[in-house]
Amino acid sequence: MKIGVLAQKSGLSIQTIRFYERKRLLPSPERTQGNYRVYTDDALQHLLFIKQCRALDMTIDEIVELLATRANPESSCESVNATIQKHIDDVAHRMAELKALQKSLVTIRSACAHNKKVKECGVLQELDSFVAAKS
């Protein structure tokens, strides 16, 4: 199948498919005499696997590790578990950062009552005080 059909079946854009090829996540396809890429059903399955990993917010490096392990079905899956555990830890860290961000925003938001003039806005004053402290 040509890249347009692959894009339609996978739900990915042509640019994304080419990006995955450049990053070597997707093996280079065969080419026709007219130099068109020709993809197999295996390429589609490969792309759907990558798409699922991306839906889980995995990085390109994590996907590379998983694909390398997946290519050796007789090897231990210990590295897969380690990759997923590291990803879980990274997600937990980002969640903690987002909670801290939320707390800061709530604090800043509480600095201003409704219906004040902009020159009296506590939110803008709080933001200006952060800028002044960094200068």
Q: What is the pLDDT of residue 57?
A: 93
Rounded Cα distance between 125 and 127, Å, is 5
pLDDT value at 63 more than 80: yes
Share of residues in the chain with pLDDT > 70 (%): 100
**Domains of the chain, with CATH numbers?**
1-58 (1.10.1660.10)
- Report pLDDT digits (tens) over 37-61: 899 999 999 999 999 999 999 999 9
Q: How many whole angstroms separate alpha carbon 19 and alpha carbon 26? A: 9
When pLDDT is cut at 50, 70 and 90, the band that residue 129 belongs to is confident
